A and B are shown apart, each in its own frame.
Chain A
């Protein structure tokens, strides 16, 4: 090819690239919204603040916007993703490091469109894909609530993203692919409680963020795959749709009790990331919590246990023959609380075979409960289990899990248990 020919191709390529860049910049560019002076906390109607407090509990904001041992809304909690670690931001009304200089319009844009006050795109770890459906009045109530919290000057650790994902304009591309905000339209065929529960659950409470599987770019799978089980902080969030593995029906009553106390006596205690969720729900408006129970019981209405609760086997002898070391370890470490007739059973804790983890498609939650134990999720008095991470090694935990599944499980045997114990140790918080 002649030199002018090459030159022409280069020029055209540069022009095309430039046009693409301009087009992308046009899509990605969002203007900053001017700083405002921090609103005087006394200007907010106390009723609006109280409404916002309830919504913040339903939305479980502190799970990400509070570090372990830190203060609420100050941020700093690490959210581990396949693309790096993102730290929850400071959403106290400190003007320098929080959202004190954000106007209501800036706050609304962040909630609805995932754009910060300065015009930068927010990572979808902040679930604006859900908050886009929050009603105007509720966004304003949350704003009023947050702006009346104590202002704390604190900068969370910098995000650690795999290059080039630290370059936020790229998130505009993610939004083009996956951000398709849909309003939650009331279904007149359903009850007011069902509709309220759906509104809360699908928007502020963002339940699918953990309970739905995610795609390659961490987008939530929707449609038939919604509520089909997902991952959160090294724990498995089981399906809460027709494929719920629970062996007892999730009725409205049982879900309501579980949400408010962190314990369902027909299932198990709230564990892992679900613990803080119940802590907050226990402090939210009971009518709203019951509405969520109404909607999620409906989501699981076609689950196997909702149709017929199975008889639960106790294959003690067989499991002991197959996993003799697991049986010995269970006898020495677990039986004192979990065996029928043990003190904790007499105290009304759910029997081991009722626990949903033993019936899940993978062993992760059973392993995590053994490694990390349970903290009373809602109040100092509540379900507790000591952690065994330091007492037992990977092989020993795997032996116990194999024994438990052989004795009580209802699904196919889990393979590669020891590998998963090692992974659970690494991924768990």
Chain B
């Protein structure tokens, strides 16, 4: 038996500790926001927060989570009452097919929990591990910038004028 804290609630699951966290979230806990994409840590669709840090849930053995807390997009808001990052994504219409978006939102949330005033470089490198095959990256970046402002910060541009 493995005990997990997911979205503030505790859960007990009876699985092999080498099982990827993603399978436990989707199959045992019925939390379907995080997606299976590549299963190789290459696409980011499975990204969730573990102790405020974005990780690939497809490559994290559930037995390695331990006492750390897991947060999925379900823990950030609902369709009826979306959280601020979700509202920012809605406002910028950042989703096309939407498959990558739960991972993108988890990644954005992880960045904003670290700092609400990231530089553009920090923003881009934080979001880079998640891929969007539809090509909505520019809208996704706008959404994260908007969410940073909603949290009282904002993305600061590095000053480096060219002569």
> Which residues on A are within 8 Å of B, measured CB to CB?
68-71, 74, 94, 150-154, 328-329, 331-333, 336-337, 343-344, 384-386, 388, 390-393, 396
Known: A385-B41, A390-B54. 9 other contacts (CB 8 A): A74-B160, A328-B18, A332-B18, A332-B61, A332-B63, A336-B39, A384-B42, A388-B59, A390-B50
Contacts between chains A and B (CB distance < 8 A), count: 77
- B residues 12-51 with Cβ under 8 Å of A? 17-20, 39-42, 50
B163 at interface, CB cutoff 8 A: yes
In the complex, are the beta carbons of A153 and B39 less than 8 A apart? no
Q: Which residues of B contact A393 (CB under 8 A)?
A: 66
B129 at interface, CB cutoff 8 A: yes
In the complex, are the beta carbons of B160 and A70 less than 8 A apart? yes
Question: DSSP majority for the B interface?
Answer: mixed
Q: Which residues of B contact A384 (CB under 8 A)?
A: 42
Give Cα distance in the complex from A329 to B59, angstroms: 9
CB-nearest residue of chain B to A70: B160
Known: A328-B18, A332-B63, A333-B61. A344 touches B40 (CB 8 A): yes
Q: Which of B18, B20, B56, B160 contacts A386 (CB 8 A)?
A: B56
- Smallest beta-carbon distance A99→chain B, Å: 14
- Smallest beta-carbon distance B21→chain A, Å: 9
- What band does the interface of chain B fall in when counting residues whose beta carbon is under 8 Å from A? 20 to 34
CB-nearest residue of chain B to A100: B163
In the complex, are the beta carbons of B17 and A386 less than 8 A apart? no
Give Cα distance in the complex from A22 to B20, angstroms: 70
In the complex, are the beta carbons of A328 and B63 less than 8 A apart? yes
Q: Which residues of A contact B63 (CB under 8 A)?
A: 328-329, 332
In the complex, are the beta carbons of A333 and B64 less than 8 A apart? yes
B53 at interface, CB cutoff 8 A: yes
- Smallest beta-carbon distance A235→chain B, Å: 19
Contact with A along B118-144 (1 / 0, CB 8 A): 010100110001000000000000000
CB-nearest residue of chain B to A93: B163
CB-nearest residue of chain A to B110: A390
Q: Which residues of A contact B18 (CB under 8 A)?
A: 328-329, 331-332
In the complex, are the beta carbons of A343 and B59 less than 8 A apart? no
In the complex, are the beta carbons of B129 and A329 less than 8 A apart? no
Give Cα distance in the complex from A149 to B55, angstroms: 40
- Smallest beta-carbon distance A316→chain B, Å: 14
In the complex, are the beta carbons of A69 and B125 less than 8 A apart? yes
- Smallest beta-carbon distance A110→chain B, Å: 22
CB-nearest residue of chain A to B160: A154
Q: Which residues of B contact A386 (CB under 8 A)?
A: 40-42, 56, 59, 129
In the complex, are the beta carbons of B64 and A150 less than 8 A apart? no
B152 at interface, CB cutoff 8 A: no
Q: Which residues of B contact A396 (CB under 8 A)?
A: 64
B8 at interface, CB cutoff 8 A: no
Give Cα distance in the complex from A151 to B129, angstroms: 32
Instruction: Point out which of B39, B40, B119 has the most chain A C-beta atoms below 10 A from its C-beta.
Output: B40
- B residues 146-162 with Cβ under 8 Å of A? 158, 160-162
B60 at interface, CB cutoff 8 A: yes
Known: A386-B41, A390-B54, A391-B59. A332 touches B160 (CB 8 A): no
